[in-house]
Homo-oligomer: A and B are copies of this chain.
């Protein structure tokens, strides 16, 4: 299974800088927001936590279809399904590779982008923490979505459509933690709830995803 993780990381890096690209997309989204919204720093500061969370979410989303689609196309998934490792393990490893190449860099880069968005001072720590807790859930949920849509020739759009509603709770609590942090309020229940969602997703989603893959291979 570690072999699978290593291969996926190698592929992500070799196939054009897996690490860099998610990050670059995040940077771009954050850059584009002021063009849309206007350069007023007060407003930008207000919406910064939410937009940073949304940007992270979209950066994750955009790379989701790589989780399984390539393996499906070249037949690797058929072969993995008949290999001596459980499909659940395959899903976990693929989600982990996705998180390492997309989620983790976002967590590390978020403070720098916070500067661009005039995030208020106390927000930086909370933003990073909330992303660190929340992005694993995004990757696992995304793996489930990828499993549902694997084999359908429809580009990422259907996948996004399925996955985005599932992202809503994570987004709400994550952005809430970041916003309260930025405004200096008490964080409250949002943080444990966010952590809880992540843990539950990591524990349960792989089974759903593996079941979906089995159905799709049929």
Contacts A49-B36, A50-B37, A172-B35 hold; do A21 and B157 have CB atoms under 8 A apart?
A: yes
Interface assignment of A189: CB less than 8 Å from any CB of chain B: no
Contact B15 A63 (CB under 8 A): no
Q: Beta-carbon contacts of A154-173 to B below 8 Å, as 1s and 0s?
A: 11111011001101100110
Whether A161 and B38, one on each chain, are in contact in the complex, defined by CB atoms closer than 8 angstroms, is no
- How many residues on A have C-beta within 8 angstroms of the other chain's C-beta atoms? 51
A residues near B, CB below 8 A? Answer: 15-18, 21-22, 24-25, 28-29, 32-33, 35-38, 43, 46-47, 49-51, 53-54, 57-58, 61-63, 65-66, 69-70, 73, 152-158, 160-161, 164-165, 167-168, 171-172, 175, 179
Do A158 and B50 touch across chains, with their CB atoms under 8 A apart? no
Say yes or no: A155 contacts B62, CB within 8 Å: yes
CB <8 Å contact, A32 and B157: no
Q: Which residues of the partner chain B approach A69 to less than 8 Å between Cβ atoms?
A: 155
27 contacts between A and B (CB under 8 A): A16-B157, A16-B158, A18-B157, A21-B157, A21-B158, A25-B160, A28-B160, A28-B161, A28-B164, A28-B165, A29-B54, A32-B57, A32-B171, A33-B54, A36-B50, A37-B50, A37-B51, A38-B50, A43-B43, A43-B46, A43-B47, A58-B58, A62-B155, A62-B156, A62-B157, A63-B155, A65-B156
